[in-house]
Structure 1
Amino acid sequence: MVRFYQRKACIKALEAALESKMTVMAIQGILGLDEDISSGSEDGSSDEDEYDMDWEEIDDLLIWLHAICSEQYFGPRQTLEQPPAIHDYLMNKLEASRFKQEFRMTRLAFTKLCAWIRNDTVFQNNSHNPQRPIEEQLMVALKRLGCFGNGASVGMLARFFGVGEGTVELYTNHCIMAILRIKTQIIQWPSPEDRKEIKADYAEVGFDGCVGLIDGVLIPLAECPSKNGSDF
């Protein structure tokens, strides 16, 4: 859904008004109308007053535009009380099956993925303020990618992890960029020996001759599978 930003809309409207007013006055200058105003003719006083009002209006528009652009936020900010940090509990205390439910991978796979992307430049700042640990950023990203519908709401995830809504989007972008940069190291066509093994595994479940499947269709199941049933 497209968001409406009142500050951005005001800036756009002021810039359009300035452009329109300056265009009109420029046309008047090209046509020599401003010279007629300053020539001192009998009826030039009213035109001169109108000319001065035009410049006053431009000054007012510039003042308003500068005032709005000088402030990052259009209205007063509301300070929200942050909940206690949850990352340590999720990483070190949550039992393995529930960790997999939350982040759609085992804790071991999560740790390996962190090691793969830890040194990516996207997690390094050119300042004295380091970023939050990669584990925290990846938790936010995986939770967001693993949710469906309203569960993936940025606001809900921000409150769950105790971070800002913009931080949720920032962490997600960081992790996606880092993961994409290692794709050629991870995703490779299997060797002949691996293909034989993969084909044999798929043949056991009724897909003879397959070495891989890609399908984005959600299929409702009457009963959960006996293996990793909690994931379904």
Structure 2
Amino acid sequence: MPRETERGKAIKRMTQIIRTQINGSIINSLWKEPNEDSSGEDSDLGDALVALIHLKKRRYMKERVRIIRAPNIGSFLFDLDEACFKQEFRMTQHSFYQLLDEIKSHPVFHNQSNIPQRPVKDQLMVTVEFLPYSARALCSHMPREPQPTNETHNTTA
């Protein structure tokens, strides 16, 4: 059974109130004298209609809380001191920038698409960061060389 939201419950209640007021107004109009004033009832019905329209226009009943975006990880990592950078990337910043200078003009990093690629520096940063993990995974899937067997003992009697 689907869950009903607070907003959905409020809309349902307001719709029921409006129906009740309309039915009451119809019955009252049949029984009232022609010169009696019904502006109070009309005002209540109008207020209920305005409230229902307001509820249906708003998607959320409470103000939406915006989630703060995380800072750019690239700028954080390149602001690290040399020891922390080396621990994170397994190379010095100088070596990283030398490698970046060597590869940044390679055509694989430049496409003609409408969707731009991430900067070469960011792509290299991700590659260097996760290369040891992928190397371990690769090694675990490589076939092992056959181990020499020891045929000195005979298993048959």
Tell me the TM-score normalized by structure 2.
0.41
- Tell which structure's C-alpha radius of gyration is larger: 2
Tell me the TM-score normalized by structure 1.
0.29
